[in-house]
Structure 1
Amino acid sequence: MAAGAPLLLLLVLLLEAAAAPADHAEELSLAVAWLVRRWAPLVWLHPEERFLPLSVPEFLQHVEARGGDSEAGFLVAHQPLDSLLANGTSFLHGRDPSSGDGVPVYALVRRCNGSGDDQPLSFHVTYWMFYPYSEGKPVCTLLGLLPLPQLRGRCLGSRLQFGGHVGDWEHLSLLFQGSGPPTQMYVSAHDAGAYYVFDAASSGFVLERQEVRRGVLQRPAFPARVELAAPRGHPELFAARGSHGLWAQPGRHQYVAVPRLHDEAGRGAPWRTWRRLQLVGDSEPRWMAYRGRWGNPRSGCHPLARRLCRSSDGPTGIPLKRPNFSCPPPP
């Protein structure tokens, strides 16, 4: 897609931007705010997804803070987890982002230079998506205690669900150096991620490298390209069923070697994130500054392997996440 947007696209996006919440848009230049919305992703949920996204304010109505707002704190559901999971209308099941008013996405912008519109643009933005629940993965186990390798795809033990947790933050990041398309993209899935670079000739993003942020058994294989969705040219991503990790293509994606874990992604409900994009700051809204975990404490853990749990800790909040891009040093 050409760097300059057609006039009709520009008018549509400006109307959408005007209809979105004002929050911190006034602190950003109009050019930055426009680019953030122009390149916000189209995220496809899996056709069989049961745990949909939700706004943070609605989630906070159903949890209570325990342990204060330090890193030792947790946001714990008012009701027992089993009863919430059994109730298909509970808040853990979220809302369909493609219907009604949709579900907001939270965009955190970091400028690499001053805030004046007369300076060359240089900034990076992270699009944060929140889900009230992340479904665990079925694992083949020996007597329900230890992971057991499968024999030609068959489990000779018992399959149990491990690793589900209340609260789930997913994200992607874009780096802008100028007023054209983003130069780079970072796509996150579980404890790994991939860096893509924009290729103007093919109108898409091409895989440059990938990383594992944590876990020696992580073995992801990220797709080679991120396509731009017609007709507006938003980056097209796919949220995995249950776990919501982001992938650049539909299909099956293995990410852990032992036990063998994989994601399934496909075209279900479309989440057009630019329609309810909320620009946020480091401490506003107030929940942005929360440093505890966004969910219940772990439970049902193996006595000799504390990280092997039927229900894991809720995820850490945005303040404890490492930025995927840093500002280049001044010349």
Structure 2
Amino acid sequence: MEDLFRAYAPYVYLHPDEEHLPSSVDWFFSNGALLYKKGEESQPARIEPGGANLPKGGDPDGSYWIDLPADKGGRDRVSRGDIASAEAYVHFKPGVENGMFTDIQVWMFYPFNGHATAKIGFIKRVPLGRVGEHVSDWEHVTLRVRNVDGVLDRVYFSQHSGGKWVDASLLQFESGNRFAWYSSRNGHAGNNEAGLYLQGPGNGVGIRNDWAKSNKVVDTVARFVVVASEGEGEAVVEPPWLSYESKWGPTKQYDTAAEVRRVRKFLLGKLKKALDKLVKIIDEVYGTDGPTGPKVKNNWNGNEA
């Protein structure tokens, strides 16, 4: 299975203007990430290496969450990430389609998700204040490999709360069978090619997803860790942080409507109405709660949707 991953391991291309780079989970922990507990917010705990002191099991009441360092300098520094430390976290699992495939999930961690930018009519870039910002961001691709011959069949690219399957013939291959995994500016949504995609009501109005190739790149085969494997003869020792089922970031710390109002007052009448339509879907795209880790997500055990 590791040989298959090495054969197809993607290159993660960040946007040239990306400010919030990926890092390893251990870099995030060792550089001041804090664990908070409801009712004891004034006494956050430093997170031990590997997440050894993180709580295990479910947390339906949202009693725990992770946040950036408390001091501004630490928050700013850690939110920018550390691409030199970035690791790919690999999960092998049987494919769900009649046992014909094996899935290789490749997860990347970002300490911070940046603010959203919109396109509204002829105005190409409208910064939306703090909209879209949240601590910690987990993104992944899933490589679906045919069991009969080990050939890569297709790849799933996660995009915010959803994603898309892409046939292997549409991937941009380099270094043999390895392919490009583009990460959108600020939001880190994945894609198989460079370009612009708008999420929103249409007619030239939407949240920008900008993908472009740059020298900010992660070679996933150079630094990867197999964190879980199902159906394999040799057991994998899972890192403690993988079993942490609470939030990797606090609940949304801004009011979407208030942030958008700051922008709205500078727009003309028709553009104001266009922005109002966009506001209705913003929280659907970005969510309002803190992000969860890989093992909590439905696609960890189920199919990609």
> Structure 2 length as normaliser, TM-score?
0.70
Instruction: Work out which of the residue numbers 320, 326, 329 in structure 1 matches 2:296.
Output: 320
| Structure 2 segments unaligned to the other structure (5+ residues) | 38-54, 230-236, 259-279
Shift of 1:285: 0.3
Q: 1:169 to 1:159 in 2, by over 3 A?
A: closer
- State whether residues 164 and 311 of structure 1, in contact with CA within 8 Å, keep that contact through their aligned partners in structure 2: no
Q: Does 1:228 align with 2:173?
A: yes
Paired with 1:158 and 1:65, the residues of 2 have a C-alpha distance of 30
- The question of 1:46 aligning with 2:15 is answered yes
- Counterpart Cα distance in 2 of 1:96 and 1:158: 25
Amino acid at match of 1:290: Y
How far has the Cα of 1:253 moved from its partner? Answer: 1.6
User: What's 1:274 paired with?
Assistant: 221
Q: Which residue of 2 aligns with 1:248?
A: 192
Distance 1:261 1:158, change over 3 A: closer
Q: Deviations over 1:119-147 (max 9, x none)?
A: x985211100000001021469xxxxxxx
Give the alignment of 1:291-330 within 5 angstroms.
291-301=245-255, 307=283, 313-323=289-299
Q: Would you say the 8 A contact 2:294–2:300 is kept in 1?
A: no
Query: Which residue does the alignment assign to 1:76?
Result: 67
**What is residue 261 of structure 1 aligned with on the other side?**
207
Cα distance in 1, alignment partners of residues 251 and 7 from structure 2? 38
Counterparts of 1:1-331 in structure 2 under 5 Å? 32-61=1-30, 62-67=32-37, 68-69=55-56, 70-71=59-60, 72=62, 73-80=64-71, 83-84=73-74, 87=76, 90-97=77-84, 102-111=85-94, 122-138=101-117, 150=120, 152-153=122-123, 159-178=128-147, 179-198=149-168, 204=169, 225-229=170-174, 231-257=175-201, 260-268=206-214, 269-281=216-228, 284-301=238-255, 307=283, 313-323=289-299
CA distance in 2, matches of 1:39, 1:153: 39
Counterpart CA distance in 1 for 2:128 and 2:108 is: 30
- CA-CA distance at 1:316 after TM superposition: 1.0
1:312–1:58 distance in 2 versus 1, CA, 3 Å: farther
Percent identity over paired residues: 21
Opposite residue 50 of structure 1, the aligned amino acid is E
Shift of residue 323, structure 1, vs aligned partner: 1.9
Residue identity in the other structure for 2:167: V
Number of aligned residue pairs: 246
Match of 1:28 in 2: none
Structure 2: distance between partners of 1:84 and 1:264: 28
Cα 1:272–1:109 shift into 2, 3 Å: same
- Richer in helix (by share): 2
CA offsets 1:22-55 (integer angstroms, 9 cap, x no match)? xxxxxxxxxx110022111111111111111111
- Note if contact 2:156-2:163 (Cα within 8 Å) is conserved in structure 1: yes
Q: Given residue 171 of structure 2, which amino acid in structure 1 is its aligned partner?
A: V
Q: SS of the counterpart of 1:186?
A: strand
1:158 Cα shift?
Answer: 9.0
Distance 2:6 2:167 in 1: 19
Q: Give how far 1:167 is off.
A: 0.2
Name the CA distance, whole Å, in 1 between partners of 2:287 and 2:106: 26
Unaligned runs of at least 5 residues, structure 1: 1-31, 114-119, 141-149, 199-203, 205-224
